[in-house]
Structure 1
């Protein structure tokens, strides 16, 4: 849960921000429901009816519905929105399924929007924490309206509960879920617990899972020779280029935007599918060393910056940093990621090999070298991890290990 904040704004300035900013009008939300926008969280009271002064751009709405049985609790529900200047989005609480629904009557929605513009609901609208907006831009700034429409389920609301119904968890996801349960039970992350969520059958029909783009992990196509398969899996630069071309229509920014969505869905929405997509994308980018000297070098530089910002807001509070940006203490961001950086995790050896590859590039572009250095310095100052040389022996059971085919 986010840190309490207060805003001192001149009345005229506040009115201007309310008129120009977007508004999320939430009707009928029961008191005591946790409602979040981006990485800010509100505990709704009897007068709460949404958030005002919302900057234009991508936003993530999460809410933890009231438990439907004694001792029960609910899993996070997630909606992504892309608001334009002065846009009013109206959602109404559906008590039967404990979900927020869009208004089907356009005239009714229009009347509520006019009421917002007349400031009829102003007393119940919480102001968006504008000083925290730059942090969210770093976390989700690549997310577009087209990407939201393509990735989010057709029903509009994603939930880890729907993920559990549609697919079996991998061993890594099972371990991650156990960590989430333990942390939620102890109250460390300030969010809802995800173990044994109480969800009605009617609500289950209204929940879905994100439709992420499949990421190639093992590269093997018909007609490839053993040597070609080995080479393609030692360096996945060709697979990265093919994914951008065929999976994202040539838009490299969409790959980074989906990487951002997956991360936010994981740390805020406790999505195991989001974790898997984030992990697979990270692995693909870190094993595309030839791309560092090609047209995709800028993508790798942007990736390094995005990953650094993700880790800055999700490493365990209290870690020391030499970056001086103060992002962590100002904005606790859901699930701490320290477990993912321990010696037994995938991330430490993966980044170690990636830094080695980059160190071996004589003509490494300056932007990529700069961002990779900042990322390496962050990991050293926060966690005491020194990268640049191999720090782990190969794991024979690693599902992401390069594929070597005997001749």
Structure 2
């Protein structure tokens, strides 16, 4: 990078001072991960906007520890100061930093320049992929309003300590397996939070510490997607078609359809990069909700659905090839949900499908066929043939006088 470009980026982008980080710690931002050295003091050239900063220690056996991190909306030319606390093995809370010292760091930021790594905005031979462009495509609908509603007050998450509605579903007051190396399974929440409070040197109760790590995903019950007082016909219809539930959430929980997509993106990032399993559960809920809402297509075909398919395409591109065959996602819910959706689109062909939606559907189906060898068009055809065969041999009701 030439000096003129470096100076321009220094003046326009944000800086993160990350002080006292131990050597050999995993440090990352968005899709970029490094191992810290003894001279590391932070990161420069951070593009303004939303980012996820994370870290995890490395043991003497070179095993990476549990990941933790925080979301932050960086302003242009903002200088953010964080300091590592070896007792906590975590970042110090901002209110424990000396504000006068922090201000001195900011005033003398040029002195840190040689100790700062840089956000790889410009592709190089070593890193030819533009990771910022990938990150931006996965976070287009995530707003500060959504972050404040969903994340803990600190905007911090942890693969070990973060909890949500999914943490209490099957085994009350226990953590589910986080699906990460070294993460606990079936660990008692009260025990974890009490330990966290002791390590942090606080006197918070377990419930208070729990709230510090609770992710407030939007509540939805896909098994009860019909309206209250539904008739028999409505109960059957809206148990299969989730449109009533989707519309209710849009009216009562979300500002608009873009916020639904924002939570879809946020839950995916929480799982994929934050390594918090609960994010995957919410992502699956939202994918199934949108894919199984037939009636909603009348209203949102060229808005919610076109943008949903684009968002989903970007997300799938970041998943490893075996993602939908792993122990965590082995039920392959995505193939089932998309098959349901494609069949819905085909059934609506007689009423007309907007060109923009059909183009988005075809593009995603072609990509899935080429990458995963999923022929969802054929899946839908086979299902239709099987149903026709079942109807052929169905019992015939004969009315007698």
* TM superposition score category, shorter chain reference: 0.7 to 0.9
1:20 aligns with 2:12: yes
Gap runs ≥5 in structure 1: 1-8, 185-192, 318-335, 394-407
Alignment equivalent of 1:80, drawn from 44, 57, 71:
71
Q: CA deviation at 1:151?
A: 1.5
Q: CA deviation at 1:296?
A: 5.3
Q: CA deviation at 1:59?
A: 0.6
- 8 Å contact kept, 1:50–1:125: yes
Runs of 4 or more off by more than 6 Å in structure 1?
Answer: 69-72, 340-343
2:345 alignment counterpart:
358
SS of the residue aligned with 2:318?
helix
1:140 alignment counterpart:
139
- Aligned mates of 2:112, 2:382 — CA distance in 1: 57
Q: Which has the larger Rg?
A: 2
1:30 aligns with 2:56: no
- Aligned mates of 2:272, 2:164 — CA distance in 1: 20
- Aligned mates of 1:342, 1:390 — CA distance in 2: 22
- CA separation of 1:224 and 1:165: change in aligned 2, threshold 3 A: closer
1:374 aligns with 2:363: yes
2:80 alignment counterpart:
89
- CA separation of 1:338 and 1:382: change in aligned 2, threshold 3 A: farther
- Aligned mates of 2:381, 2:280 — CA distance in 1: 24
SS of the residue aligned with 1:82?
strand
Q: CA deviation at 1:223?
A: 1.7
Gap runs ≥5 in structure 2: 122-129, 201-208, 384-401
1:347 alignment counterpart:
334
1:310 alignment counterpart:
315
- Aligned mates of 2:329, 2:57 — CA distance in 1: 34
Structure-2-length-normalised TM-score: 0.78
Alignment equivalent of 1:64, drawn from 42, 53, 56:
56
Q: CA deviation at 1:38?
A: 0.4
Q: CA deviation at 1:287?
A: 0.5
Alignment equivalent of 2:111, drawn from 113, 120, 135:
120
2:387 alignment counterpart:
none
Please provide the CA RMSD for this pair.
3.1
- CA separation of 1:149 and 1:15: change in aligned 2, threshold 3 A: same
- 8 Å contact kept, 1:215–1:281: no
- CA separation of 1:392 and 1:263: change in aligned 2, threshold 3 A: farther
2:263 alignment counterpart:
258
User: How many residues end up aligned between the 2 structures?
Assistant: 350
SS of the residue aligned with 1:276?
helix
Q: CA deviation at 1:220?
A: 3.9
1:246 alignment counterpart:
252
- 8 Å contact kept, 2:45–2:119: yes
Q: CA deviation at 1:291?
A: 2.0
Structure-1-length-normalised TM-score: 0.77
- 8 Å contact kept, 1:82–1:144: no
Q: CA deviation at 1:257?
A: 1.1
